[in-house]
Structure 1
Amino acid sequence: MQPTNFSNFLLNISKTPLRVLDACIPNSSYIALDLSENNIELQAIDVSSSSKLETYITNYISKHHGKIAFGGYNEVRTIYKRSHYFNVETAKERNIHIGMDLWCDANSPIFAPLDATVHSFKNNTNFGDYGPTIILKHYIKNVEFYTLYGHLSLVSIENLKVNQVFKQGEPLGFLGDSVVNGDYPPHLHFQIIKDLEGFSGDYPGVCNKADLDFYLNNCPDPNLLLKLDF
């Protein structure tokens, strides 16, 4: 299946928005947030501090009368400069975000957007990494693909089992706080993955410019499912 066809397939899975957060929260309460290097406001914020970034995001949501901030797909960010994980362990700087972030309170429940089984899970403990992470496997109309849920709480993976079944809308876990989630303000990293390339409990959520075309093809925009600004 070609990337364009895969994106069309994802878009047409559901005519209505799918949800990874509380389904009672309407699209109007989701506020688009720009955390890219082009956001001039961020130049006055110490984004290396999770508490200062959290204050900025919380105030932004309140200012726009929302409940959840979202965005980040294919976004070039400076926040990753604080972590050796993105800059030393790879030959080229990784600073382009290839999932969608949903910023809301720690311990917010996370839900399976589609019927799924657990492919794998892991606590990714590098500074700036996902922390507790779950990867679900989906099989719809003879098409297999995966969704990744990063920055969860530890309790989310404590009793989890590979191949465990989750039905659409069933609680999957909870958001973690900065102590366990890689030192970020509480948020969900949600990512669609066509080919896991052998990864287990982990998959790159940030890439470098040289590899961007591959990752955009392998990890289409999560908004094809969530439809937050449609």
Structure 2
Amino acid sequence: MKNLLEILRQTESAKVISNDISYADYVALDLSVTNEILVTQKLATAKDYEEYIQDYLNRNKAKIAFGGYIEHRNLYQRSTVFKNDNTDERNIHIGLDLWINDSAPIYAALEGKIHSLQNNDALGDYGPTIILEHKIEDFTFHTLYGHLSLDSLIGKKEGDFVEKGEQIATLGLPPINGDYAPHLHFQIIIDMENKKGDYPGVCSSKTLPFYLQNCPDPNLLLKIKS
């Protein structure tokens, strides 16, 4: 019997942002703690990251930067969402980011229905967020779309059907999107753990083994690079 990961590998590739931009115009982006260039850049604000990413896109003659799955990052340190006195620091990214300095259209990766939606409006959080529920064969799982525009939540409700490739949102801009440079956080979630409108997109080293199982690589669906 196939498992879910095998099924996702065999699905046709899915575009979730700016459908008219070819994967040939994507470039991998490293925002990890091992990227020594970031240390010299002194990036602190959403504007700093916008300028850094746009320069990176220009230098690589690309239109969208992607990456970040299981990436250890420092950019969450400004937010109490990821660290308080009672928890381990969360700094390992468990989704895939697609960076473009534009209010780009966002599409459903697969046919499904709206599981939940919410504006997670704390500094450094997702901002407006939509979570879809999908069923393939005997498997149920979810996809999360974070850092959207406020308009993306209007007129939608839980249970609404969506088709694969249907536009479900537009990308949010700072500060509405959690105060980040514009990007889509895209994540696969198998078990929502009874959460609605929100699910961790960043974890600690202690909880990483669980999230590696519950949040597999989103590129299984997108198939940006082999």
Q: Measure, in 2, the Cα distance between the counterparts of 1:89 and 1:118.
A: 34
User: How do 1:1-230 residues align onto structure 2 when only pairs under 5 Å count?
Assistant: 5-14=3-12, 17-88=13-84, 90-230=86-226
- Report the AA paired with residue 10 of structure 1: L
Q: Which has the higher mean CA deviation after the structures are superposed, 41-50 or 159-168?
A: 41-50
Q: Is the 8 A contact 1:37 1:77 kept in 2?
A: yes
- Report the AA paired with residue 12 of structure 1: Q
Tell me the alpha carbon deviations over residues 29-64 of structure 1, each in whole angstroms, 9 at most, x when there is no partner.
110000000011100223321101111011001110
Q: Measure, in 1, the Cα distance between the counterparts of 2:117 and 2:166.
A: 17
Shift of 1:90: 4.7
Q: Measure, in 1, the Cα distance between the counterparts of 2:40 and 2:110.
A: 40
Against the structure 1 CA distance between its residues 150 and 140, is the aligned structure 2 distance closer, same or farther, given a 3 Å change threshold? Answer: same
- Report the AA paired with residue 116 of structure 2: S
- Flag structure 2 segments of 5+ consecutive residues without an equivalent: none
Q: Measure, in 2, the Cα distance between the counterparts of 1:110 and 1:11.
A: 22
- TM-score w.r.t. length of structure 1: 0.95
Tell me the alpha carbon deviations over residues 118-162 of structure 1, each in whole angstroms, 9 at most, x when there is no partner.
000000011100000000000111211100000000000021111
RMSD, aligned CA: 1.4
How many residue pairs get aligned? The number is 226
Shift of 1:182: 0.7
Which secondary structure state, in structure 2, belongs to the residue aligned with residue 138 of structure 1?
strand
- Report the AA paired with residue 139 of structure 2: V
Shift of 1:196: 0.2
Q: Is the 8 A contact 2:54 2:101 kept in 1?
A: no
Tell me the alpha carbon deviations over residues 53-106 of structure 1, each in whole angstroms, 9 at most, x when there is no partner.
111011001110110000000000000111111111651000000000000133
- Report the AA paired with residue 182 of structure 1: G
Q: Measure, in 1, the Cα distance between the counterparts of 2:122 and 2:99.
A: 21
Q: Measure, in 2, the Cα distance between the counterparts of 1:138 and 1:48.
A: 37
Q: Is the 8 A contact 2:26 2:62 kept in 1?
A: yes
Q: Measure, in 1, the Cα distance between the counterparts of 2:142 and 2:85.
A: 26
Q: Measure, in 2, the Cα distance between the counterparts of 1:29 and 1:197.
A: 36
Against the structure 1 CA distance between its residues 90 and 138, is the aligned structure 2 distance closer, same or farther, given a 3 Å change threshold? Answer: farther
Which secondary structure state, in structure 2, belongs to the residue aligned with residue 18 of structure 1?
coil
Percent of pairs identical after alignment?
Answer: 48
Q: Measure, in 2, the Cα distance between the counterparts of 1:89 and 1:176.
A: 30
Q: Is the 8 A contact 1:45 1:53 kept in 2?
A: no
